[in-house]
Structure 1
Amino acid sequence: MANPLISAESLRALAFTDDQWKAFVQLVNQCKAPPHDKLAGKNLNTTAWLLDSGASLHMTGQESILTNIHKIPPMPIFLPNGEVTHATSKGDVQLSRAIKMTNVLLVPGLTCNLISLAQLIDEQKCGIFFANDICVIQDLLSRTPIGAGEKRGGVYYFHSLDPVRACSITEEQSDLWHSRLGHPSVKVLRSVINFNNTLSDRCCSK
């Protein structure tokens, strides 16, 4: 794998420190799957998803992974081997805890699963950042990584990353904020700041 370090400017855009980026790369490496042939009409790992900048819509050849399936007018799809098939259905795919893809085309004969980057950005309100042989899918609101891609054989394979809270608030910290905000109710306090389960429901003494 190429040097995992990227420029300081890119790290600042991602809200990652150098150490955080190293840890992120290690996490992706732990998720590595064996290499596969590239879209050449050979069956890929049917659970693998490829990040495709050229696809306008998500596509799969596996009906079994789709939910909420419904029929659509026949849509011509050109397969990598030059053949033409038609998508006649679409549905949803729960790609990870953080990412649910909608309007995924069911394409008979397609031997891989394709994630359209354009559709993913529109659906998830996320940013996708490329650096060396890795890309990061980041929620734009929380700036939390929700997915990643690892480049193998010229294509990027998707890796699921469960979102982690950027800041975990301890009970002592919740007491401090409770005081700073004028001793509001727990319900109000939770609506202002993302607290973890350590926030207690004990009554304020003031």
Structure 2
Amino acid sequence: MTGNNALFYNFFHTFGKAVKTADGSLCKIEGHGTVVLNELIALKNVHFVPNLACNLISVSKLSIDLHCSVIFNDLDYTLQALNSKKMISKASLQNGLYILLTSPKTEISKSFTALGKVDTVMLRHFCLGHPSFQYLAKLFLALFINKKLNFFSCKVFSLAKHTKSSYFPSTYKPSYPFALIHSDIWSPSWVKNADNCKWFITFINDHNKITWTYLLKDKSETAGVFAQFYNMVLTQFGSKIQLFKSDNGSEFFARSIGEFFKEKGIVQLSSFVGTPQQNGIAERKNKHLFQVTRSLLFTTNVPKYLWGGSLINCHIFNQPDA
């Protein structure tokens, strides 16, 4: 028990509890928490009693919590760990009471202790196989006194988790809508929709990420669907497509769509083989569309062949961006 709330490492308020002192009077308990005395002693469930003039520690509870033995002498007693036999702390006899010795309180010792704790935390982190610092804080509470978890970082573990270099984002930003279109075809569904379509293709406006989706019965329809999309953009928005970016799928390099690109003056861009990240905008959009389509099917409990009807209603995704 303690009457000094400044000693608590963490504190929780308590209501309706009291403790009886030696003279038989009741003292109100206003909270409890953890008090850290040094790097080896952290007292849990310490009661905060405002009327208490001194700090009291139960020797039996101390020995159980710390898993240590208490050796009494005529002038002091020693706390010794049962497993390692290491001395944890000492208490000296003063005016008939044992005063537990804690860490020095000078500013110089505090600064060196803080540096020592940082080194100790990182040493424990290395020896235990680089666990998270949140986990270490639960195991070694005393090492994280007055330290924020985001203060610690491990560059070695970040490097060990690294699998590949990240792709740099494109620096090209179109100045007006439809200057750059991203496109990708989703792989065939094992369930055909009501119109016997197994694929879908997306056209994404890079300027604002608005998306148009078309269902395909076969990949050979790619050229015709893009021509339909091109005419819609030209008629409804009065804009012309300048750049068309996709992966290196054969459907995007067929003679029919290549001739259309030449006729309209569209520059075709494609990703390298085995690098879908270069077409990441369209890849992520297709994944998002597929996930939300499945969610709609699961929610409405309709037959799977109706997936096409859920997919083409992509206006529900365009509204937040618009």
Task: Place the TM-score, normalised by the shorter chain, in its bin.
Answer: 0.3 to 0.5
State the TM-score, normalizing by the size of structure 2.
Answer: 0.31
Judging by fraction of residues, say which structure has more helix: 2
| Higher RCO (C-alpha under 8 Å, 6+ residues apart) | 1
Q: What TM-score does the superposition give when structure 1 sets the normalisation length? A: 0.47
Higher strand share: 1
